[in-house]
Every structure is written in structure tokens, then in C-alpha cells.
Amino acid sequence: MKNFAVIGLGQFGSQIAISLSQKGFDVIAIDDSEEVVSEIKDIVSHAVVVDAIDEKAMRAVNVDTVDTAVVSIGSNVQSSLLVAALLQKLGIEDIYVRAINPLQEGILKSMGIENIINIEEEMGNQLSSSLASGKIGRYIQISERHSLMEVRVPRAFVGATLKDLDVRSKYKINIVGIKNLVPEVEDNGDVEYHLRMTDVPDPDYPLEESDMLVIVGTDESIQQFIQLGDGDD
């Protein structure tokens, strides 16, 4: 079975390391922050505090023996490039690197790195597809990394309660409201459906297919949550 190294344990890197571990793979999760390493150490195979541009330290934790390495460092472009170069020196052929701008992407390509991860571009493509499909309603960017969004209930969640789903723990988002259609009988006897917003959701309310969830979280967590409904079409 393949083994992995994930270098840089921001939200993106941590999610990769956790997901791979949950699938049964051996993962070395690396960051230079003791705090972020301690948050993940009980979830992944190995979590270590290491300066990822220190060749001796990287060899000491057996990074040179992994099949695949993922460099998920975010804003520090220089560190990301240096780590990628070190991984090449260590003889790792299967390297994935997160790029945050075209210049970094160009440098990585010139280094021979073929597996370049552009999260912002991928999220934009996914968001546009979801918007076009009607799975997403209003979208508000509330910080550089956080958004508020209306998302249609994934089919797998229909009939489940918020208490059952525990989305805050499992998906790192908060459901701050639920929009649903409520039938009302008009004076002439016709039934009309009116949109109702519940801003303090009942944890025991069973979700319906027509409901829209108002969620808040980081852009990456929201994107992962949206993907739960990708198979509903």
C-alpha cells in the first residue's frame, strides 16, 4: 500500500492527511508548528514537528521513503518551492504542490513538477457548476477565507436531523439557518407555498429535499460540503 507525506497542515493539508489516514494509508503529517501538529497527531499515522526545508530532519522522519508527497503550504511561496526542490533531491517522483499564483505555478512547471494543485481555480469551477445546477443560492464572502452560502440539502441528508448529521464536527461548517417551503391554504381554498426562514434551526428537525441550508465556514470547508451533493443529479 502506498504511503504519503503531507507537508503544511493548514486546513487544506490537514484535511488531505486525515482523509488519507481514514482510507487506511500510512501518512506522515508535517508542519513546523507544534500547535497544529498536536491537533492532528491522534488522527493520522504520524504527525511530527519538522522544518521541511531541513534535509537531515526530513530524512530522520523517513520522508525520503514515501511514495507520494503533497506540499500544501499556503502563503509562503518561497518555502513551498524549497520544499518541492528538497523532495526532488530526496528522490520522490510523485510530488503534488499547491500553487497560489501563476508565477509559482510557472516555477513549479520549470522544475518538472507536473502535479500542481490550484485550489482557488478548482473551487471557482466547482462553484460555477453548482450555481448553474441550482444547488446553491445566495453567496456572501465575509472574509478572505470565510463565506456564507445557501446550499440545497444533499440527497443523502434528506430525513436526517441536524443532531444526527453533526456537520460542525464532521464538515467544519455551521448551519445558521434553514429555508423551507411551508404550505398555506388561501381564502379561495388554493394551497400556496411560502418561503420561511428559520434562523435558529431545531436540531431535531428532519431535513426535506426542498430545504436550503444557510451555512457559514471557510471556503475550503464549504466546498467540501458542496461536493457531498455532486452525485444528486
Give 181's contacts (C-beta < 8 A, 6+ positions apart): 193, 194, 195, 196, 210
Rounded mean pLDDT of the chain?
82
Structural domains of the chain, ranges and CATH numbers in brackets:
3-117 (3.40.50.720), 121-232 (3.30.70.1450)
Contact 98, 72 (CB under 8 A): yes
Higher local confidence (pLDDT), 229 or 45: 45
Give pLDDT tens digits for 67-77.
999 999 877 89
Give me the phi and psi of 49, to 5 degrees please.
Answer: -90, 110
Confidence class for position 94, pLDDT limits 50, 70, 90:
very high
